[in-house]
Amino acid sequence: MSINVLLIGSGGREHTLAWGIAKSPLLKKLYTAPGNPGTESLGENVNLDVSDHAAVLDFVRSNDIDLTVIGPEQPLVEGIADVLENAGHKVFGPKQQAAMLEGSKEFAKDFMARNAIPTAAYKVFDQDNFDEAAEYIKSQNSYPVVLKADGLAGGKGVLIPESEEEAMNALTELKSGSLSDAASRLVIEEFMVGEEASVFAICDGDSYKIIGNAQDHKRAGGGDTGLNTGGMGAYSPAPIVTEKLLERTEIEIIKPTIDGMKAEGYPYTGFLYVGLMITEEGPKVVEYNCRFGDPECQVIIPSLQTDLLEVLIACTEGKLSESEITFDDQYRCTVVLASGGYPQAYEKGKEITGVDEADALIFHAGTRSEDGKLLTNGGRVLNVVGSGSTLKEAIDASYASVEKITFDKMYYRRDIGAKGLKRIG
C-alpha cells in the first residue's frame, strides 16, 4: 500500500508531524497546506486556504488524497473533518462537535461536570453580563482568580489576575480588547495550586493509547514570568508525571473523557491533549486541546519508534487497539526561538543563520524562504530539539545548538527544563 497524505497546518507541530509521516514506507506523496520551509523539504507545500472547505475538498478529490491529517485547532473547530468525512474521505482529527472540548471552555467544563472528571470549580457569564461577573469575583474575595475566554484565542485567552484591580482590568480587556470575540462568554475558575504537565493520547473514537507526557513553558519570561504565549519550550518525559500519577490520570480523566464523548454521541478521533494541574488532591484538568500540543509534539513524536502514518491510518479505521506503539528511552528538550517582542508586536523578515550548523533537530514554525535566504515570519520562529539519555543531556544538547543560530532580536528562555532538573535532584 502506498498513499497520498494532505497535512493541514504551518507551524512547528506540523513540521514535526510531516517529519514523522515522511519516514513511513507507506507514504507515496505528502502535501502540506500551507506548510513552511521545513515541510517543503519533506513533500510539496500547497497554497490552499484551509478555511475554504470547498477548496480543501476539491484538492483532496483532485489529488487522490487517501488521508488528511489536521494539525491546528481552528480548522477542526470550524468543522473541516466533518466536511471531508461526509464526502467519504479519511481524516485524522476530531469532528466539529468533539473538537468543542477545545473550541468552548464552557462545553469542556460542563462535559467534565457531567462525567465527574476532576477540574476546578467554575461559573460562566455572558459578555453582556460582565457586571455580574465582577460582582461574583468580588464576592469570592480570593486571589488569584482564573478568567478564560470561552472561544479560541491562540493560547492567549487565559488571564490570572492577582488582585481586584487586575481582575476588573482583565474584564475590560476581555469585553472590549483583542480577546473580545473569543470572550463572548467567560468562564471564571478557582485558582488551582500545583504544577502543570500535559498527557497525550491518540484515539480512534472507541479506544485510546497514551503516547507521552511533557511539561510546557507558557510564560514568555524566565522563571515563569511575563505574558502567556503559545509555548516557549518543552521537555519530555516530565519527572512530575510518575507511573502512579499517570495511572490516576488514565483512570480518572482520559478513560472517562473518551467513554463520555462516545456515550454523548460524538466519539473522539485524533490526538487528545490533556493539560493537568498536579494538586495535593491529585491530577485535575486545566484544559483540553483537540490536537497535539505545540511545542510538546516536537519532543514526543521524535521518540516514536512505531510508524506514525501506520498508527494514523489505524485510527481512521477504528483499529487502534490492534496497533502496538513503542518509544525510545531518550529525554528530549525543545527551546523555542522567538521574535523579539513576542507575544506582543514583533517584526518579520529577519534573516536566520546557523540552522545548518546546529547538531539537533530543527523544526520550523514562523519561517519563510526568499531568494535563497531563510527569514522570520512569525512570533515563534524555530524549535531546537536536543536529546539525551538524561534530561540534563537533552537540555544541554538543545542549548548548544541554540547558540549556533542567530537572527536580529532573537529571544528565547534560558531555563527550559529547569523545573524537571530540580525534581530529579
Structural domains in the chain, CATH included, are 3-86 (3.40.50.20), 121-190 (3.30.1490.20), 193-322 (3.30.470.20), 331-424 (3.90.600.10)
The span from the CA of 199 to the CA of 214, in Å, is 7
What is the sign, positive or negative, of the torsion defined by CA atoms of 22, 24, 25, 29?
negative
Residue type, 139: S
CB 416 within 8 A of CB 215: no
109 grid coordinates: 467544563
- Residue 158 predicted with pLDDT over 90: no
Maximum alpha-carbon separation in the chain: 63
Cα 326 to Cα 18, 142, 203, distances in angstroms: 19, 45, 16
- Counting residues of the chain whose pLDDT is more than 90, the rounded percentage is 84
The span from the CA of 376 to the CA of 369, in Å, is 9
CB 243 within 8 A of CB 309: no
The answer to whether the peptide bond before residue 75 is cis (omega within 30 degrees of 0) is no
- Residue 183, CA atoms < 13 Å, CB-side half-sphere: 26
pLDDT, residue 44, reads 98
Q: What is the pLDDT of residues 388-418, one digit of tens each?
A: 999 999 999 999 999 999 999 999 999 999 9
The position carrying cell 485567552 is 157
pLDDT, residue 21, reads 98
Cα 86 to Cα 80, 83, 316, 390, distances in angstroms: 10, 5, 14, 46
pTM (predicted TM-score): 0.95
Residue type, 161: P
Residue type, 285: V
CB 332 within 8 A of CB 303: yes
Radius of gyration (C-alpha) of the chain in whole angstroms: 21
CB 321 within 8 A of CB 373: no
SS3 129: helix
Residues 6+ apart with CB under 8 A from 19: 38, 42, 301, 302, 361, 363
Residue 3: closest CA among 24, 34, 32: 24
pLDDT-derived band at 108 (thresholds 50, 70, 90) equals very high
The span from the CA of 221 to the CA of 236, in Å, is 20
Residues 6+ apart with CB under 8 A from 139: none
CB 94 within 8 A of CB 268: yes
Q: Which residues pair with 327 in a beta bridge?
A: 304
C-alpha angle with apex 392: 386 to 397, nearest 5 degrees? Answer: 30
pLDDT-derived band at 171 (thresholds 50, 70, 90) equals confident
Q: What is the pLDDT of residues 244-302, one digit of tens each?
A: 999 999 999 999 999 999 999 999 999 999 999 999 999 999 999 999 999 999 999 99
Q: What is the pLDDT of residues 190-213, one digit of tens each?
A: 999 999 999 999 999 999 999 999
The span from the CA of 76 to the CA of 24, in Å, is 25
352 grid coordinates: 536566520
Q: What is the pLDDT of residues 114-144, one digit of tens each?
A: 999 999 999 999 888 788 888 888 888 788 9
Residues 6+ apart with CB under 8 A from 239: 391, 420, 423, 424
Strands 373-376 and 367-370: antiparallel
